[in-house]
Amino acid sequence: MSHTYSYPRPAVTVDCVLFGFRPDAADLQVLLIERADEPHEGAAALPGGFVEVRDGGDQGEDLEAAARRELLEETGVKVDYLEQLYTFGKPGRDPRGRVITVAYIALVRSTDHAARAGSDAAGASWVSLRDARARVMAFDHREILDMAVARLRGKVRYAPLGFALLPERFTMPELRSLYETILDAPLDRGNFRNAVLRLGVLKKVGQRKGNGAGRAPDLYQFDKRAYDRATREGISFDPVPDSKGPPRVARAERKRR
């Protein structure tokens, strides 16, 4: 069956940059597909595909729904957070014809979902951000990935985004480690803790024992109500030092007292 229009139309796809976090890894995880077909056969690609469109009264699916569907089909992953990133439509970005793609950032709580190969892909797998950057990527997916990382790095400083990457219950060191991973910078234990707790969105729910040496860290989970309110009211949560910082002198000074 074919479909005819009086002017040429572009194909429209969605592509997803799916981030995950493993407490044991020193880097963010990204889910990549190995392309099974030409063009760019064998290259790494972001999961994604065509948006379902119909010409009748029912016009098809929403863009965000398309992103969720493609992620589920291609990788078997159900996302916890989804946000539109940017729309890429440069002529020539796909050699087969004009393709405009709406890119999304997706976050998942757990990378346990064994990423499995779907019908459109030779294979889907979690790759560390560092490794991902070393791969050859199809189309303009490198550019999309870079923009996604930049956005994540930027947004994490004023929105409580990182939380969507952790399991339901987590410890303060895990949360801090996550932010250090995303921002690629060391963060002060005490100050990070205070900043997070001042948000008032966390509940203490016991502690985790048996982690090896050291004091057992407290376990936290979200106060969903307070979290939603905070998100709506646009809280500011910046765990990054000001770079110019206040105490610059007077370290030895204090020791003398």
Binding site for DNA (CB under 7 A): 171-173, 188-191, 193-195, 207, 209-218, 240-242, 244-251, 253-255
Q: Is 198 in the site for a second copy (CB under 8 A)?
A: no
Closest CA to 133 of 228, 35, 37, 30: 30
Site for a second copy (CB under 8 A): how many residues? Answer: 34
Q: What HEC string does 231-245 produce?
A: HHCCCCCCCCCCCCC
Q: Tally the C-alpha atoms within 13 A of residue 104's C-alpha that lie toward its C-beta.
A: 25
Rounded-to-integer distance, Cα 108 and Cα 17, Å: 11
Least Cβ distance, residue 174 to DNA (angstroms): 8
Q: Is 184 in the site for a second copy (CB under 8 A)?
A: no
The listed partner (a second copy, DNA, none) that binds 186, CB under 5 to 8 Å by sort, is none
Closer CB to a second copy, 84 or 207, in the complex: 84
Phi and psi at residue 23, to the nearest 5°:
-55, -25
Closer CB to a second copy, 102 or 172, in the complex: 102
CA dihedral sign, ordered 182, 185, 191, 193 = positive
Q: Is 12 in the site for a second copy (CB under 8 A)?
A: yes
Q: What angle do CA 54, 57, 59 make, to 5 degrees?
A: 35
Rounded-to-integer distance, Cα 219 and Cα 39, Å: 48
The listed partner (DNA, a second copy, none) that binds 253, CB under 5 to 8 Å by sort, is DNA
Contact string 41-80 vs a second copy (x = CB under 8 A) = ---------xx-xxx--xxxxxx-----------------
- Residue 65: enclosing H or E segment and its boundaries? helix 63-75
Q: Is 102 in the site for a second copy (CB under 8 A)?
A: yes
- The residues binding a second copy (CB under 8 A) are 1-12, 50-51, 53-55, 58-63, 84, 86-87, 89-92, 97-98, 100, 102
